[in-house]
Amino acid sequence: MSTRWYPIYQKGGPQLRVFLPNFWMKLVRPTYEQPPNVVQFACSMEMTKHDVKNYLEKIYNIKCIDIRTRIHMPKTRRDPGKGYIIKDDDIKFSYVVLPKGQTFQFPDLFPETEDIKQDHDKALDERKRDIKDSWRKNKHRPNMPGWFTA
Amino acid sequence: MGSLCKLLNNLNIRNTFSLPNNPIYRRTISCTTVKYDLMEFFDDKKNWGAQEVKSGRSWKKEELRLKSNTDLHKLWYVLLKERNMLLTMEQEAKDQTRLFPNPERLDKVEDSMKHLEAVVRERNVAYHQLETGETGERPGKLETGPFGLKFFYRMCEYPVPKHMNKKWHETHQFYKSNRDTEQFLLKYREKLYLNKRRKRTRDFNHVIGLLNRFPDLDMEALKEQYPDVDIEKAKASRKYGGHFAPK
């Protein structure tokens, strides 16, 4: 049980029960636009539709009408220096349809508060002033590299 | 206070099984709000966009050993939900290129889950030892692979008997002596032996170097760190003592 090693199911045998599930699910912002009652999750690669349904209904008490899953293969890219091909890990997405009348809007988790905005503006102003200063200093010696100060 | 303790002790002795029903032991007020919602996948609203989120430490094994099985079972789901929440917040922070505050929270939860599972496993093993005399763990044995190298083979159940299981025999190859593997093993062992010998020589020379550089060295510590090196022999070496003109 706790060894995460389950006996194979044989006809007439007792139903296997998972006491300590180690699946993870994360609610993600939908990749493509979805109807208001569809929620997108990224989940463990081993999870099936039935697993997702049981997970949400039993642990989170969320009713789901329909579930679709897909495995997303991320784009490959080349390493900028060496040129070998890099591929990130695959992700399993599941699309959960909520019952009629229920909707879900992904919340804005990083609200722009006034002081953060002010800090950002202040830093931007300082940077602008520094650049203008450097332009003024180097007015009479164009094309000189930045590190050359003598 | 003393009389209350006595009363509790008496109760304990008389009837252990009636204890949980006793009103003294029942928790009457619970401040935890139960919420079953999709919003459980997100942190508290006051932590949205926060620069720092304070958190406690992870559960230790010693603490978890004191808990009952039911409590552990409940705690597992609390941790599972917490981990899902943190993963969701981390992913969103990554997508929005924002700071995910206190990422060590995830490590703490993972540690707690690991410890909890270890404790459950201990109990499982103890139960199996008591009831069946075996550990109840997944059985395994030391096997020799096709190249003659040892590995731990973890056994599992198959619906087909072994002598009929063609697929298993195709995918699982074990050591059979032949000339190529013998040649490989010979060279492999030679390589291991040379590495070992080089290490011995390196350590020996390094100890001499240490003795030269630091004349009043703590011999006990040296012996502890380099148990394979014969220090008397190192001192007898002509490299010991450094370059100096005899008087």
**Nearest-CA distance B10 → chain A (Å):** 36
Q: What are phi and psi of B153, to 5 degrees?
A: -90, 115
**What pLDDT is recorded for position B9?**
43
Q: Looking at the structure, tell me whether residues B96 and B40 fall in a common domain.
A: yes
Per-residue pLDDT band for B60 (boundaries 50, 70, 90) equals very high
A84 has a chain B CB within 8 A of its CB? no
Q: Is residue B13 part of a domain?
A: no
Across chain B, mean pLDDT equals 87
Per-residue pLDDT band for B32 (boundaries 50, 70, 90) equals low
**What pLDDT is recorded for position B7?**
41
Q: How far apart are CA B139 and CA B152, in angstroms?
A: 10
**What pLDDT is recorded for position A129?**
96
A15 has a chain B CB within 8 A of its CB? no
Q: Please determine, for residue B237, whether its predicted confidence score (pLDDT) is greater than 50.
A: yes
Q: Please determine, for residue B246, whether its predicted confidence score (pLDDT) is greater than 80.
A: no
A107 has a chain B CB within 8 A of its CB? yes
CB contact under 8 A, B87 and A111: no
Structure tokens at B39: 């919003």
Q: What is the ipTM of this complex?
A: 0.80
The percent of chain A in helix, strand and coil, each rounded to the nearest 5, is: 25, 20, 60
**What pLDDT is recorded for position A95?**
97
For chain B, strand residue ranges (E) read 140-144, 150-154
Q: Looking at the structure, tell me whether residues B122 and B145 fall in a common domain.
A: no
Residue among A24, A26, A104, A112 with most chain B CBs within 10 A, to mutate: A26
Q: Is residue B25 part of a domain?
A: no
Q: Is residue B1 part of a domain?
A: no
The answer for residues whose C-beta is within 8 angstroms of residue B94's C-beta and 6 or more apart is: B100
Q: Classify the phi-psi angles of B49: left when phi > 0, otherwise alpha if psi is within -120 to 50, otherwise beta.
A: left
- Count H helices, E strands: chain B? 8, 2
Q: Looking at the structure, tell me whether residues B155 and B207 fall in a common domain.
A: no
Q: How far apart are CA B206 and CA A112, in angstroms?
A: 60
Average pLDDT over every residue of B227-246: 86
Q: Looking at the structure, tell me whether residues B44 and B113 fall in a common domain.
A: yes
**Nearest-CA distance A84 → chain B (Å):** 25
Residue among A18, A52, A60 with most chain B CBs within 10 A, to mutate: A60
Q: Which range (A55-69, A135-149, B130-144, B169-183) has the least confidence? A: A135-149
CB contact under 8 A, B83 and A20: no
Q: Is residue B103 part of a domain?
A: yes
Secondary structure letter of residue B240 according to DSSP? T
A16 has a chain B CB within 8 A of its CB? no
- Which residues in chain A have their CB less than 8 angstroms from residue B155's CB? none
Q: Hey, where are the domains in chain A?
A: 25-97, 111-139
Instruction: Using an 8 Å CB-CB cutoff, list residues of chain B that contact chain A.
Output: 36-43, 48-49, 73, 76-77, 80-81, 83-84, 87-89, 91-93, 95-96, 98, 113, 116-117, 120-121, 124, 136-138, 156-159
Q: Please determine, for residue B47, whether its predicted confidence score (pLDDT) is greater than 80.
A: yes
State the count of interchain CB pairs (< 8 A) between A and B.
86
**What pLDDT is recorded for position B6?**
42
- CATH 3.30.70.330: does it fit domain A25-97? yes
Q: In this structure, are residues A25 and B91 in contact, taking their beta carbons and an 8 Å threshold?
A: no
Question: A62-118: per-residue pLDDT in tens?
Answer: 999 999 999 999 999 999 999 999 999 999 999 999 999 999 999 999 888 888 889
Q: Please determine, for residue B182, whether its predicted confidence score (pLDDT) is greater than 90.
A: yes
Of B48, B80, B156, which has the smallest distance from its Cβ to A109's Cβ?
B48
Q: Looking at the structure, tell me whether residues B122 and B47 fall in a common domain.
A: yes
Range of the domain at B159: 140-171
Q: Please determine, for residue B11, whether its predicted confidence score (pLDDT) is greater than 50.
A: no
**What pLDDT is recorded for position A78?**
96
The answer for residues whose C-beta is within 8 angstroms of residue B168's C-beta and 6 or more apart is: B158, B160, B162
CB contact under 8 A, B73 and A20: yes
Of A5, A8, A27, which has the smallest distance from its Cβ to B138's Cβ?
A5
Q: Looking at the structure, tell me whether residues B123 and B146 fall in a common domain.
A: no
Average pLDDT over every residue of B28-42: 72
Q: Please determine, for residue B127, whether its predicted confidence score (pLDDT) is greater than 50.
A: yes
Q: Is residue B20 part of a domain?
A: no
End-to-end CA distance of chain A: 72
Q: Please determine, for residue B8, whether its predicted confidence score (pLDDT) is greater than 90.
A: no
Question: A30-60: per-residue pLDDT in tens?
Answer: 999 999 999 999 999 999 999 999 999 999 9
In terms of residues, how long is chain A? 150
Q: B156-170 burial by CB neighbour count: b if 16+ within 10 A, else e? A: eeeeeeeeeeeeeee
- Which residues in chain B have their CB less than 8 angstroms from residue A113's CB? 49
Comparing A149 with A138, which gets the higher pLDDT? A138
**What pLDDT is recorded for position B4?**
41
Three-state secondary structure call for residue A92: strand
**Nearest-CA distance A49 → chain B (Å):** 18
Question: B96-114: per-residue pLDDT in tens?
Answer: 988 899 999 999 999 999 9
Question: B111-124: per-residue pLDDT in tens?
Answer: 999 999 999 999 99
Structure tokens at B26: 């029942």
Q: Looking at the structure, tell me whether residues B41 and B128 fall in a common domain.
A: yes
Give the percent of chain B with pLDDT over 90.
Answer: 74
Q: Please determine, for residue B202, whether its predicted confidence score (pLDDT) is greater than 60.
A: yes
Q: Is residue B206 part of a domain?
A: yes
Per-residue pLDDT band for A9 (boundaries 50, 70, 90) equals confident
What is the tally of structural domains in chain B?
Answer: 3
- Helix (H) or strand (E) run with residue A86 in it: strand A85-86
Q: Looking at the structure, tell me whether residues B202 and B154 fall in a common domain.
A: no
Per-residue pLDDT band for B34 (boundaries 50, 70, 90) equals low
Q: Please determine, for residue A121, whether its predicted confidence score (pLDDT) is greater than 50.
A: yes
- Report how far apart, in Å, the C-alpha atoms of A30 and of each of A128, B89, B111, B199, B202 are: 37, 15, 30, 56, 59
**Nearest-CA distance A140 → chain B (Å):** 40
Comparing A90 with B13, which gets the higher pLDDT? A90
**Nearest-CA distance A144 → chain B (Å):** 35
**What pLDDT is recorded for position B241?**
83
- Which residues in chain B have their CB less than 8 angstroms from residue A3's CB? 121, 124, 136-138
**What pLDDT is recorded for position B42?**
95
Q: Please determine, for residue B156, whether its predicted confidence score (pLDDT) is greater than 50.
A: yes
- Report how far apart, in Å, the C-alpha atoms of B74 and of each of A19, A50, B37, B79, B194 are: 10, 23, 18, 9, 55
- Which residues in chain B have their CB less than 8 angstroms from residue A7's CB? 157
Per-residue pLDDT band for B22 (boundaries 50, 70, 90) equals low
